[in-house]
Amino acid sequence: MRRVEDERLLRGLGRFVADVAFAGELHGALVRSPYAHAIISGIETSRACRAPGVVAVFTGADLAADGVGPMRALWAIRGVDGKAMAEPPRFALARERVRHLGEPVAIVIAQTHQQALDAAELVDAGYQTLPAVIDASAAAVSGAAQLHDSAPGNVCFRWARGDEAAVRTALKTAAHVARLSLRNNRLIGAAIEPRAVLAVAEPGSKKLTLYSSTQVPHHIRRYVAEQLGLPEAGVRVIAPDVGGGFGYKGKHYPEETILAWAAQRLRRPVKWVASRSESFVSDNQGRDHLTQAELALDARGNFLALRVETVANLGAYVSTFGAAIPSAIYSALLAGVYRTPAIFVRVTGVFTNTLPTDAYRGAGRPEACYVLERLADRAANELGMDRAEIRCRNLIPAAAMPYKTPIGPTYDCGDFPKVFARALEMAEYAAFAKRRATASRAGVLRGIGLACYVESSGVAPSRFAGALGARTGFFEAASIRVQPDGGLQALLGTHNHGQGHATTMAQILCERLGVPLAKIEIVEGDTDVVPYGTGTFGSRSIAVGGSALDRAAGKIVAKGKLIAAHLLEASPTDIDFADGTFAVTGTDRRLSFNDVARAANLAHNLPLETLEPGLQETAVYDPPAFAFSNGAHVCEVEIDPLTGETRIVGYWAVDDVGTVINPIIVEGQLHGGIAQGLGQALREHCVYDGAGQLLSGSFLDYALPRAADLSLIQSELDESQPCTHNPLGAKGAGEAGTIAAPAAIVSAVLDALAPLGVTDIDMPLTPEAVWRAIAAAKTATRAIGRS
Ligand code: MCN
């Protein structure tokens, strides 16, 4: 089933926030801090106010005078000893001090976009610069610049999980300990559509309507209502077509509050659309971990214990899920697919004068996978074992399911050894030595990389997240309205920004209710229309939203049976429903779904004492646990030793995302994820200088992967292990590729470089980084030769 939404989008008929226009609409341009850390000594706006077309200029003082509250994180984790994380106030427009490059300090509102931009240049903000701290390793060191009074030592939280004593003992007594120190590079999300907000507060109406390119309309509604002191129902958030989000559009941003407030104040629609350059200094960034890890093994390569110490760079403020991603989410997956009896992880979240970090596709899971897979490779190399063998030896067997990890989660199902074996088979792993020898004769270094992963899709249940400090639930809601002609309108709390929901959600209904796809409309992204929901992130839409939809369909069938029983003069228990037909068991008395829909909506012949007219149902689904997708990826690379250029020559992926609703879409999701993983492994790197200026502030310096960088990806889906606790059996697929790819690619590059004695390079493995590693290894070899 091909995606039904593509024709409209490919023909340029999408309707994104920037396409929505209102009569009398004004345009906002934000004045942003040019410094990473400074005291605002004053903001002179009079010249800007007099500029052509300018309607108003607002600063943090205006919002403060109006009582606009601070932006709050949506997950306030508790650290060791139950200590609450530091949550310093973050205001939509900075007050008194700025803490990262690009922090908004004023907004200029004018008749046209260009007039707003021109006048923004005339706002004269004075700054007394302060020393900045950029690197996570420097932030918690004594004497480092301090960002917030409420976070001494720049520490937001200290988090720990697992059995420290057991791990300490195992590390002391183990036959071998593999040690690793690594950096997980900071990434910049780069969706095709830059973020945009349009706020509308019509005169005479109490309703504030906010169009935002967001993944989470209901969360944004709540934030804006809270900060502006409005009832939640007084705010309507519409996320129309959104051109990619990758997690970073699933967070709350200052512009949503600023525009909403300004529109209310002016009673005029106000629009802001980020330029690409502006996106680099106003969107959340991802990853940025420094990690030390130790894996204890016995002499035969069995994993005994794992210890992980991570410093996570949170940037200048705690963003929406900024604290939860590197703590609760990351640490929960440190068992990965392996049987490691004892695990202990400690994470310190620190503030620095950089853009806030938060979820970026994968969100904590690629970081966990990378630590584990790098350790597995290192341990194998040090023990002289084959890298596939050490993994096989330690994989959790299918017979051990459900498997309770020592770090928290319980995996309900999965056949990790089978998936891994199939990936090795597809990649012809056993014959790799020959391919390496052939490449070597041609003067090229060839390596093969392995990565196994497990993904926690659909954060759940709400009770669990709440106990860990989440300030939101994680259920999802779906409503189905059956029209008199038997057509369906399904309304969901999830949001589609590239994942193909209009297709896959409709497929669920088509299968469940026998209604043709052409008669099904999927509606998402409007808080006044869809039921209260959580949005799309964490690969949750199918496992949680799809399950809610399935349940709602079940309710439609149940009511349909009552109606059919009445019309067919049979007992409801004698009515079967299959292939869109209600039938009395064992007879030819039947009614089509359309007949029942019509009868329900006409209500000419219904037992009104027991049945309400109409056919519409809502279901809410709060899963009992995460759905654990998993898989194994194998990558083969060739490296030119003269230039350090890496070429991917083969990529094989076997993924278990449970029952697959739409294999074409899932494969597309995997390809996209792998492309992003490749970006992290080989190209993308967010770099600040010591003063907090962004050196990678455009696509000239921030290198996204291009089509030519990818090889043919050969992918297989293993559907033998459906999720055991949701009605669809589906596990998430949206982030899977991003989780395994960096680890698989780095594994391949290090394998290619191993004969030269290179054991370590941090991502991204740019040609320069690889070339330098080769040069350093050669120098070291020469030095050893001389001595
Ligand atoms: N699917 C399926 N069968 C399964 C699993 C998934 O058919 N067993 C389908 C789903 O029905 C859906 C798609 O695959 O159409 C992805 O589903 P799911 O894994 O539930 O992920 P979400 O829809 O919740 O999407 C979120 C996820 C995340 S967290 C990021 S980040 C991400 C991603 O999806 N950002 C994307 N994929 C993206 N794809 C595009 N094009 N753009 C983004 O911004």
Q: What confidence tens digit (pLDDT) does each residue in 285-307 have?
A: 999 999 999 999 999 999 999 99
**Residue 630, φ and ψ in degrees, nearest 5:** -160, 170
Supply the residue whose CA is at minimum distance from atom 37 of ligand 1.
734
Closest CA to 485 of 529, 457, 516: 516
Pair 77, 66: CB distance under 8 Å:
no
d(CA 253, CA 104): 11
Strand order in the sheet with 476-482: 520-524, 488-492, 476-482, 616-621
Closest CA to 257 of 64, 400, 423, 409: 64
Is any atom of ligand 1 closer than 6 Å to the C-beta of 665?
A: yes
CA atoms within 13 A on the CB side of 508: 33
Task: Report the separation in Å between the CA atom of 360 and the middle of ligand 1, taken as the mean of its atom positions.
Answer: 13
Regarding pTM above 0.85, the answer is yes
Task: Give the burial string for 672-691 (b: 16+ CB within 10 Å, else e).
Answer: bbbbbbbbbbbbbbbebeee
d(CA 324, CA 740): 21
Residue 43, H or E segment: strand 38-44
Mutational pocket test of ligand 1: of 541, 662, 718, the residue with most ligand atoms within 8 Å of the beta carbon: 541
d(CA 77, CA 71): 16
Task: Report the separation in Å between the CA atom of 498 and the middle of ligand 1, taken as the mean of its atom positions.
Answer: 8
What tokens does 325 get? 């991603």
Residue with tokens 């942003």: 32
What pLDDT is attached to residue 787?
67
d(CA 300, CA 568): 70
Task: Report the separation in Å between the CA atom of 210 and the middle of ligand 1, taken as the mean of its atom positions.
Answer: 25
Task: Give the burial string for 273-289 (b: 16+ CB within 10 Å, else e).
Answer: bbeeebbbbbbbbbbbb
Cβ contacts of 437 within 8 Å, gap of 6 or more:
none
Q: How many CB atoms lie within 10 A of CB 693?
A: 16
| 35 residue type, one letter | Y
Residue with tokens 């669990």: 464
Task: Report the separation in Å between the CA atom of 497 and the middle of ligand 1, taken as the mean of its atom positions.
Answer: 9
Mapping DSSP to helix (H, G, I), strand (E, B) and coil, where does residue 772 land?
helix
What pLDDT is attached to residue 782?
79
What pLDDT is attached to residue 352?
98
Is any atom of ligand 1 closer than 6 Å to the C-beta of 541?
A: yes
DSSP-H helix ranges across 514-603:
547-568, 593-602
DSSP-H helix ranges across 36-135:
46-50, 60-65, 113-120
Phi-psi group of 74: left, alpha or beta (phi > 0 → left; psi -120 to 50 → alpha; rest → beta)? alpha
Pair 59, 43: CB distance under 8 Å:
yes
Strand order in the sheet with 590-592: 575-578, 581-584, 590-592
What tokens does 270 get? 């106000």
What pLDDT is attached to residue 243?
97
d(CA 600, CA 625): 36
Pair 462, 475: CB distance under 8 Å:
yes
Residue 678, H or E segment: helix 663-678
C-alpha distance across the termini of the chain, in Å: 66
- The 3 state secondary structure assigned to 587-632 is CCCEEEHHHHHHHHHHCCCCCCCCCCCCCEEEEEECCCCCEEEEEE
Largest Cα separation within the chain, whole Å, is: 99
Task: Give the burial string for 159-191 (b: 16+ CB within 10 Å, else e).
Answer: bbbbbeebbeebbeebeebbebebebbbbbbbb
- The 3 state secondary structure assigned to 142-198 is CCCCCCCCCCHHHEEEEEEEECHHHHHHHHHHCCEEEEEEEEEEEEECCCCCCCEEE
Task: Report the separation in Å between the CA atom of 758 and the middle of ligand 1, taken as the mean of its atom positions.
Answer: 37
Supply the residue whose CA is at minimum distance from atom 11 of ligand 1.
504
Mutational pocket test of ligand 1: of 621, 669, 670, the residue with most ligand atoms within 8 Å of the beta carbon: 669
What tokens does 80 get? 């060791």
Task: Report the separation in Å between the CA atom of 762 and the middle of ligand 1, taken as the mean of its atom positions.
Answer: 29
Task: Report the separation in Å between the CA atom of 611 and the middle of ligand 1, taken as the mean of its atom positions.
Answer: 38
Supply the residue whose CA is at minimum distance from atom 10 of ligand 1.
542
DSSP-H helix ranges across 194-298:
217-228, 254-266, 276-280
Mutational pocket test of ligand 1: of 539, 656, 657, the residue with most ligand atoms within 8 Å of the beta carbon: 539
Phi-psi group of 162: left, alpha or beta (phi > 0 → left; psi -120 to 50 → alpha; rest → beta)? left
Phi-psi group of 688: left, alpha or beta (phi > 0 → left; psi -120 to 50 → alpha; rest → beta)? beta
d(CA 764, CA 644): 12
Is any atom of ligand 1 closer than 6 Å to the C-beta of 504?
A: yes
Supply the residue whose CA is at minimum distance from atom 34 of ligand 1.
734
Q: Tens digits of per-residue pLDDT, 37-64?
A: 999 999 999 999 999 999 999 999 999 9
**Residue 502, φ and ψ in degrees, nearest 5:** -60, -25
What tokens does 8 get? 């409209």
Is any atom of ligand 1 closer than 6 Å to the C-beta of 502?
A: no
Q: How many CB atoms lie within 10 A of CB 423?
A: 27
Closest CA to 772 of 639, 644, 682: 644
Pair 190, 279: CB distance under 8 Å:
yes
**Residue 577, φ and ψ in degrees, nearest 5:** -125, 125
d(CA 539, CA 534): 12
What tokens does 415 get? 């056949």
Is any atom of ligand 1 closer than 6 Å to the C-beta of 660?
A: yes
In whole angstroms, how large is the CA radius of gyration of the chain? Answer: 28
From residue 524, how far is each of 9, 477, 505 by CA, in Å?
16, 11, 11
| 750 residue type, one letter | L
d(CA 266, CA 24): 11
| 765 residue type, one letter | L
What tokens does 711 get? 């090889």
**Residue 11, φ and ψ in degrees, nearest 5:** -85, 10
Mapping DSSP to helix (H, G, I), strand (E, B) and coil, where does residue 368 land?
helix
Is any atom of ligand 1 closer than 6 Å to the C-beta of 524?
A: no
Is any atom of ligand 1 closer than 6 Å to the C-beta of 217?
A: no
d(CA 674, CA 663): 16
Mapping DSSP to helix (H, G, I), strand (E, B) and coil, where does residue 533 land?
coil
d(CA 325, CA 75): 9
d(CA 470, CA 461): 11
Distance of alpha carbon 585 from its chain centroid, rounded?
47
What pLDDT is attached to residue 169?
98
d(CA 632, CA 627): 17
What residues in the chain have per-residue pLDDT under 50? Answer: none
Is any atom of ligand 1 closer than 6 Å to the C-beta of 289?
A: no
Q: How many CB atoms lie within 10 A of CB 516?
A: 12
Task: Report the separation in Å between the CA atom of 394 and the middle of ligand 1, taken as the mean of its atom positions.
Answer: 30
Q: Using DSSP, how many helices (H) and how many strands (E) does the chain show?
A: 21, 28
Is any atom of ligand 1 closer than 6 Å to the C-beta of 735?
A: yes
d(CA 147, CA 132): 8
Strands 342-351 and 235-238: unpaired
Mutational pocket test of ligand 1: of 9, 499, 723, 726, the residue with most ligand atoms within 8 Å of the beta carbon: 499
Pair 196, 245: CB distance under 8 Å:
no
